[in-house]
């Protein structure tokens, strides 16, 4: 049976995770946050005190991993892990490994309703044939403010100008990297999520409902 897939791509802090969670709950889909895989690898690298630019050691480490968990954990959200994840996400062998993990997760799943998967290259590379693709965008200053608040709420230290600088740097890395840069996937619905009201749940439900209840979904 064909697995139905909705992809949600967008830059850091665009709120794609929140939208993905909402879509998963509403349409009884399984939510897969692909960034978690990069963050889990970054966490192991940090724990083992490996230099993130030491590709050879990271390659050996990855070769030893069979399966990586997609379980979320607060620790994976720290700035330190975010920065390491952003460096290693540039390596092709890391991306290939993460993509295989995602495909395996989908293949092994018993959930017959399908998946909503969020990330940077899901609709453009990993699941090019997804049924629905969304691309979420938000002004960088708004994203930095949201991230700053999130870190403060998590009890982490946060200096707004530094967060803004880091987000701009991560955007640059995401959009300009050689392997699977962040792009608007072909055929994606572009959603401006800059204000609370830019996409209503109703609009989202109309887009998705048209597929799920109608003739487009198979």
Residues that bind ligand DC (CB under 6 A): 12, 34-35, 38-39, 85-86, 89, 119-122, 170, 174
Q: Is the dihedral of CA 179, 184, 189, 192 positive or negative?
A: positive
Contact 88, 42 (CB under 8 A): yes
Q: Which residues contact 186 (CB under 8 A, 6 or more apart)?
A: 124
Quick one: 4 or 99, whose CB is closer to ligand DC?
A: 99
SS (H, E, C) 163-210: HHHHHHHHHHHHHHCCCCCCCCCCCCEEEECCCCCCCCHHHHHHHHHH
| Angle CA 114–118–123, to nearest 5 | 80
Quick one: 4 or 82, whose CB is closer to ligand DC?
A: 82
**Lateral strand order in the sheet of 189-192:** 30-33, 115-119, 5-9, 132-137, 189-192
| Least distance CB 171 / ligand DC (angstroms) | 10
| Least distance CB 164 / ligand DC (angstroms) | 16
| Least distance CB 128 / ligand DC (angstroms) | 13
Quick one: 12 or 134, whose CB is closer to ligand DC?
A: 12
Per-residue burial over 141-160, b = 16 or more CB atoms within 10 Å of its CB, e = otherwise: eebbebbbeebeeeeeebee
> What distance in Å separates the CA atoms of residue 81 and residue 90, rounded to the nearest whole number?
15
| Least distance CB 202 / ligand DC (angstroms) | 26
| Least distance CB 200 / ligand DC (angstroms) | 23
Quick one: 36 or 212, whose CB is closer to ligand DC?
A: 36
| Least distance CB 102 / ligand DC (angstroms) | 8
> What distance in Å separates the CA atoms of residue 45 and residue 33, rounded to the nearest whole number?
20
Quick one: 86 or 212, whose CB is closer to ligand DC?
A: 86
């Amino acid at each position: 049976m064909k697995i139905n897939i909705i992809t949600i791509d967008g830059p850091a802090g665009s709120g794609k995770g929140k939208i993905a969670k909402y879509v998963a709950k509403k349409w009884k889909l399984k939510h897969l946050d692909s960034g978690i895989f990069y963050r889990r690898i970054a966490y192991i690298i940090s724990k083992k005190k490996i230099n993130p630019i030491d590709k050879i050691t990271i390659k050996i480490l990855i070769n030893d991993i069979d399966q990586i968990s997609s379980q979320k954990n607060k620790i994976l959200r720290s700035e330190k892990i975010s920065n390491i994840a952003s460096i290693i996400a540039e390596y092709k062998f890391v991306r290939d490994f993460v993509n295989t993990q995602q495909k395996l997760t989908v293949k092994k799943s018993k959930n017959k309703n399908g998946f909503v998967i969020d990330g940077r290259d899901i609709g453009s590379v990993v699941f090019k044939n997804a049924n629905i693709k969304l691309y979420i965008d938000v002004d960088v200053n708004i994203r930095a403010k949201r991230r700053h608040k999130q870190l403060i709420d998590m009890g982490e230290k946060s200096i707004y100008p530094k967060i803004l600088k880091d987000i701009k740097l991560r955007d640059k890395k995401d959009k300009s990297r050689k392997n699977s840069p962040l792009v608007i996937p072909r055929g994606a619905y572009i959603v401006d999520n800059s204000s609370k009201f830019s996409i209503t749940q109703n609009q989202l439900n109309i887009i998705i409902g048209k597929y799920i209840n109608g003739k487009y979904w198979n």
